[in-house]
Amino acid sequence: LSAPSAPPAPVSPAAESAPPGEGTLAWVGPFAVFMAWLALDQYLPLANPLKEVVRDLVILAGIVGFGRRVVARYALRAPHWPASIALGLAVCALWVAPDVLVPGWRDSALFQNGVTGRLKTSIPPGELTPVMLALRTARAALLVPVLEELFWRGWLPRWLQDNRFWRVPLGTYTAFAFWGTAALFAAEHGPFWEVGLVCGIVYNWWMRRTRSLGDLVLTHAVTNLALSLFTIATQRWVFWM
């Protein structure tokens, strides 16, 4: 792996407010828009693929409307891109390995229960058209990594260290922030919580090492793209929850 870049200079303790355009909404807003859509999706009277297009436009609007300044400043450069790409592929392999190597691995009550939920795909089998597959893959690779990394690696671990999170440089480590973020990231992935935990640990480690949000966006994008292509190739649609 390439050597990590020098960490960004700490924000002055005198900075009592976030830089313009870099407050909480810039980091959390896109993720909140995405989660709100997931909650409302089943109630919207839209047929696919129109619903998928509207969903992508809403997510893009959330990223641009709330996070455009932090995306432009922190997420567009990936100085360690070769290693980030390789790591993204490795995480995808880790994600699918249990289900590929152990038939019935995810049938256990450890993974499917009243707390974690149950396996289901968010695209009905009759709607798995080429257009739908292309839209889903594009969203997974281009939009979701941006909004999730703004929240999971850009905001949450810093906020867990100091509610004036802008005073905490990206990639700053504390055990509480590192493991707390990994555990919550695992919980977000429901029946895939155990691979979600491994993924969260790896991503958090890479953020600590590189101090580069752009590298995390790239790693996450490669993971999601590879997982989408694997899902399409094998028709294991449950990987698209």
pLDDT, tens digit (0-9, with 9 covering 90-100), for 168-198: 999 999 999 999 999 999 999 999 999 999 9
pLDDT score of 13 more than 50: no
In this prediction the pTM is 0.91
User: Which residue do the tokens 């900075």 mark?
Assistant: 15
Alpha carbons within 13 angstroms on the beta-carbon side of residue 2 total 17
Average pLDDT along the chain: 92
User: What is the tens place of the pLDDT at every residue in 52-74?
Assistant: 899 999 999 999 999 999 999 99
Q: What was the pLDDT predicted at 9? A: 52
Instruction: Report the pLDDT value the prediction gives residue 241, as an integer from 0 to 100.
Output: 72
